Amino acid sequence: MQIVEFTQGTLRFLDALPAQAPERGFIWIFVSRDELPQQLAQVQLAAQRFGGSVLLDLHLTDLANPAHPSRYDYTSVYDLVIFRRLATAAEVDAELAGEAVRSRAPMPAALSTFERIRTRAMGFAVFDRLLVTVHPADCATARSYLERYLADAVQAETLHAAARSRLPTGPADLMLRMVNEMVDSYLELRKLLATELAQWQDSLLQPGNQRTDWKALMRARAELHQLEDLCEEQNDAMQEWLDSAREQPPPLSTQAERDALVARANDVIEHIQRVVHQVRRMEQGAEAVVQIHFSAQSHRANNIMRTLTALTAIFLPLNLITGIFGMNFESMPLLHQERGFWLAMLAMLALAVVLGLVFWRKHYLARSSR
């Protein structure tokens, strides 16, 4: 468990809980989910001392649940936000290694990014002067923010007021900044997904492609559906938090700080909606390219059948001629003449050429580009 005290323009790390929250600042306590049972007494003491109320058992269960979906809840004292972030590369590799042990087939290289859409739940308990965050083990989000804010604090001491605005003004502001960074990772992910999906679409529409991994495609579509549901849950949670903040703004903040919180929350929601919109477009694009693929296959089959039908129509009169000359009659034209065979062959050849030219002019024998 880490305890960080934010004051105006600076921060410091604490080894133990202070007697009270700073007059113009707040306390940030972040603890990993694995350590939460051991540090629960300290967390509850901090919530009672700096927030005025302990965390409810139901909310503690939500914070300790690694599979909890994105959600917003509140009490008269604090807000609870559960937000699912993207898993890091190390977390994904560890999870994929576990799936490999269970003999689950990996995604093909063309759709490998879809296999890496894994998320982790982060919990935020937002008081007026206290922020408690529960992270997965070895969470990089908390460390990155600590390093960033520590650098900002050092810069603020050297440049005075120039860099002070970079530090969060309160627990809600810090929570929104962390959520915003998590949402930005989804915005970066959508670019990779769109690129891989476009490459897969090009491969699917190539003429003669007979090696489409439809099972992998269905798994990719399922991942897109899950990502859409995830983003909608995130959007609902942040929208409910924003509505609550508008109805009951933080009592210790100024109007300018409240406006900044609303603006930042609107920005987070707008980013989430952009991800949802892009995911839906990718789903529609995947479905459209599948339909185009089958339409192209049907078109190629129709072209082949058209060509075979035209060739059959060319040889049908020739079969009629050979059938007539195969009749067992004594008196038939050209049957007993010396040049009869060659005249019949010449007539059949001329008839085949004429029919071929007619079908070619009508594009019955034209080659398809697909």
Dihedral (CA of 33, 39, 40, 45) sign: negative
Whole-angstrom distance, CA of residue 179 vs CA of residue 150: 19
Q: How many CB atoms lie within 10 A of CB 20?
A: 10
Q: Residue 108's pLDDT is what?
A: 57
Which residue type sits at 224?
Answer: L
Exposed, middle or buried, 76 (CB in 10 Å: 0-12/13-18/19+)?
A: exposed
Return the structure tokens found at 250. 């933080």
Supply the pLDDT for residue 117.
82
Q: Judge residue 25's burial from the number of C-beta atoms within 10 Å of its C-beta, 0-12 exposed, 13-18 middle, 19 or more buried.
A: buried
In the chain, residues under CATH classification 3.30.460.20 are 2-296
Tokens of 10: 């600076």
Beta bridge partners of residue 124, listed in sequence order:
81, 133
CATH number of this structure's domain 300-361: 1.20.58
Strand partners, 26: 6
- Residue type present at position 88: T
pLDDT by residue, tens only, the chain of 370 residues: 888 888 877 788 888 888 888 888 899 998 989 999 999 999 999 999 998 889 999 999 999 998 899 999 999 899 999 999 888 777 777 777 766 544 555 555 556 677 778 888 999 999 989 999 998 887 766 677 677 766 665 555 555 544 445 778 889 888 998 888 888 888 888 777 878 777 777 776 666 666 566 677 777 778 888 888 888 898 999 999 888 888 877 666 677 778 888 888 898 899 888 888 888 888 787 777 777 777 777 877 887 887 788 888 888 888 888 887 777 777 777 777 777 788 888 888 888 888 888 888 877 776 554 4
Using CA atoms, how far residue 193 sits from 90, 110, 141, 190, 268, in Å, is: 19, 10, 22, 5, 21
Closest CA to 284 of 276, 273, 295: 276
- 226/220 Cα distance (integer angstroms): 10
Architecture per CATH, domain 2-296, reads as 2-Layer Sandwich (3.30)
- Angle between helical axes of 255-325 and 214-247 (0-180°, round to 10): 160
Contacts of 310 (CB under 8 A, 6+ apart): 359, 364, 365
φ, ψ for residue 333 (rounded to 5)? -60, 140
Question: pLDDT value at position 82?
Answer: 94
Q: Where in the chain is the domain with CATH 1.20.58?
A: 300-361
Strands 79-86 and 10-14: unpaired
Element of type H or E holding 281: helix 255-325
What residues contact 369, with CB distance under 8 A and at least 6 apart? none
Q: Are strands 79-86 and 119-126 parallel, antiparallel or unpaired?
A: antiparallel
